[in-house]
Amino acid sequence: MTDQPAPKIEFPCDYEIRIVGNAAPDFQEAVCAIVRQHAPDYDGNFRLKESRTGKYTSVMVTIRATGEPQLKAIFEDLKATGRVQMVL
């Protein structure tokens, strides 16, 4: 097995972000508000998925990513809320 470099993302591009956190009635709204701060053209569409036990919620959003600094800022702000367990 050879070590191949990760594929390079060419910006701008459509980029899906999956945000997982503890289930709460306002989790999706909070996540979308943060995403919109960094991606003003984000249209507000999302997919929501609850965990089997109902403890966690997963919100999937697709943005038009402009570069790695934008993605890093979104990830950092989501994690800084203390409500987000994972950002994929």
- Residues 9-51 pLDDT 10s: 899 999 999 999 999 999 999 999 999 999 999 999 999 999 9
Running DSSP on this structure, what letter comes out for residue 18?
A: E
Residue 2, pLDDT > 70, answer: no
Alpha-carbon gap, residue 3 to 15, rounded angstroms: 25
